[in-house]
Structure 1
Amino acid sequence: MIAVALFALVAACGHQPDPAVTRAAPYDPYEQSNRKNHDFNKSLDRAVVRPVAMGYRAFMPDDVETVVSNFSTNLSLPGAMVNSALQGNGVGMTSDFYRFLVNSTLGLGGLIDVASDLGMPERTDADFDQTLYTWGVHEGPYVELPVLGPATSRAAAGRVVDLFINPLEYVIEDDGVYYALGARAGRGLRARGRFGDTIDSVLYESADSYAVTQSSYLQNRRFRLGSSGSDTYLDPYDTTPRTPSSGAISADFENPYDQ
């Protein structure tokens, strides 16, 4: 599966224009199918994700939401450590390791974010898209995926690889997998409910929600990777922790489609 994803990535990126041109005008050769997927995602959000998220937000106590989000975040750290190692980022790998160690022990399996209370560095959120960028792979065409939302061909392939790169996937027993999936779903619902007004303004109040989503995703993804100097765009799907000057809403804002 990983080999197929990487092969598709290389093929897709092989015919993309110069990166400087891509920044000026998004490379969107699949716009017709992307717009169909975007319409599907909006319909899914309107019919299922949004009402469920609003209910989750309304009836789930804040403390429980925080515990679920902490648990899901802690489970993602080993995968981030692997990506940091692949990027040659020893500092990030080490900080994520200690954060995972502290939260998994003192934090009762990651239910409590003790590491933040102790003033430890923020998690890196390193992923395989970032790893490929570090290796010099171009982002490829813009795509919007059913359910998963906006991406590039490189990011889409990275998501596939990230499914297999987390060492915990190979040691968690079957019951644990269901708990992990449930935690990820809860984390996404929390984000969709918590920042509903912002997401609604993009999806349902924009003159062209597809174009706004595309621009926001690409600008913020490039800023996160360090390939753009702009920090004036807000991506309602971005999950990366930010400082107040980086233009994002919150450190724990997450992609409601990324389950």
Structure 2
Amino acid sequence: MKKLLSLALLSLSLNVYSDDGSDSDPLEPLNRGIFSFNEWLDTYIAKPVAEGYRYVTPSVVDLGITNFFNNLGELENTANNLLQLKFTDAGVSVVRFSLNSTVGWFGLVDIATDAGINEREEDFGQTMGYWGVPSGPYVMLPFFGPSTVRDTAGRFVDGYADPMNYDPLNEEFHWDARLGMKGLNAVDKRADLLAAEKIIFGDDKYVFIRDAYLQSREYKVNDGQVDDPFADSMDDFDDLPE
């Protein structure tokens, strides 16, 4: 979370993208319309549900749910690290999944991070960027939020590495359980973002989110090899979730 906050400040202060956003956001009129739709959904549905979830869910349970879904994400991390020929990072993802799925009670406890084995997060959008595929225009997706043409395509590919898209027993009636897990994951992620709303500033929330997203993706695709003059100025955000 601290990295994302720092990157947001960096993108706004250095004007990484053009002042009017035309270079990265040629679809801005359409994107703004979808953004307004998403904001309406968030204001009246997603955010109230997330706040209710946070209110009734004990912190230890909330952390366990977050850890569980993050552990499932190690399968995606493993696949994309292999596709980028990052064999050491792929091995780290395998070790994290193995430890957390066994000693960590099916991923409810993040034993690996506690042991100093940190996540090597990768997705197929990053994989395509690693191999030189341009990001393409910025797009605002209904329900899903900020993306690019490259990252949108990556979402579909990453779906094949998502265990929640599969029924190990091959029985059709389990679709409702998988749908319920996806819903819980979405609510948990939205609840984790409640604290981050405090750092959204400026007169145009759309521009802030767009620039923060694009800079964050550049940071991830380049494995953090970007200048970050705010790296030592994030102490004010110590209370925000990682």
TM range (shorter): 0.7 to 0.9
Taking the aligned partners of 1:172 and 1:230, their CA distance within structure 2 comes to 45
Taking the aligned partners of 1:172 and 1:247, their CA distance within structure 2 comes to 44
5+ residue gaps, structure 2, are 1-15
* Match in the other structure for 1:132: 128
5+ residue gaps, structure 1, are 1-21, 234-243, 254-259
Taking the aligned partners of 1:105 and 1:245, their CA distance within structure 2 comes to 37
* Match in the other structure for 1:113: 110
Taking the aligned partners of 1:44 and 1:167, their CA distance within structure 2 comes to 27
Letter of the 2:178 partner, please give it.
V
Letter of the 1:192 partner, please give it.
L
* Match in the other structure for 2:152: 156
- Map 1:199-238 → 2, pairs under 5 A: 201-202=200-201, 206-226=202-222, 229-231=226-228
Is 1:41–2:41 an aligned residue pair?
no
How many pairs does the alignment contain?
216
Taking the aligned partners of 2:116 and 2:180, their CA distance within structure 1 comes to 28
RCO comparison, higher one (Cα < 8 Å, 6+): 2
Letter of the 1:82 partner, please give it.
A
Classify the secondary structure of the residue corresponding to 1:144: strand
Letter of the 2:194 partner, please give it.
G
Choose 66-75 or 164-173, whichever is displaced more: 164-173
Residues 78, 168 of structure 1: 8 Å contact kept? no
Q: 1:180 to 1:77 in 2, by over 3 A?
A: farther
Residues 75, 180 of structure 1: 8 Å contact kept? no
Deviation at 1:48, TM superposition (A): 1.1
TM-score (norm 2): 0.79
Residues 77, 93 of structure 2: 8 Å contact kept? yes
Residues 164, 181 of structure 2: 8 Å contact kept? no
Letter of the 1:188 partner, please give it.
K
* Match in the other structure for 2:192: 191
Q: CA RMSD in A?
A: 2.7
Classify the secondary structure of the residue corresponding to 1:137: coil
* Match in the other structure for 1:74: 71
Deviation at 1:139, TM superposition (A): 0.5
Q: 1:63 to 1:112 in 2, by over 3 A?
A: same
Letter of the 1:147 partner, please give it.
F
Classify the secondary structure of the residue corresponding to 2:194: helix
* Match in the other structure for 1:100: 97
| Percentage of matched positions with identical amino acids | 32
Deviation at 1:91, TM superposition (A): 0.9
Deviation at 1:167, TM superposition (A): 6.0
Q: 1:167 to 1:91 in 2, by over 3 A?
A: farther
Choose 62-71 or 211-220, whichever is displaced more: 211-220
Residues 123, 158 of structure 2: 8 Å contact kept? yes
Cα-to-partner distance string for 1:61-94 (whole Å, 9 max, x where unaligned): 1001001001000111111101100000001100
* Match in the other structure for 1:4: none
Taking the aligned partners of 2:233 and 2:163, their CA distance within structure 1 comes to 31
Cα-to-partner distance string for 1:208-255 (whole Å, 9 max, x where unaligned): 22112111111121122228624368xxxxxxxxxx6596968965xx
- Map 1:12-31 → 2, pairs under 5 A: 23-24=17-18, 26-31=23-28
Residues 17, 211 of structure 2: 8 Å contact kept? no
* Match in the other structure for 1:16: none
TM-score (norm 1): 0.74
Cα-to-partner distance string for 1:22-79 (whole Å, 9 max, x where unaligned): 9555422211110100111111111111211122222211001001001000111111
Deviation at 1:195, TM superposition (A): 3.0
Q: 1:247 to 1:214 in 2, by over 3 A?
A: farther
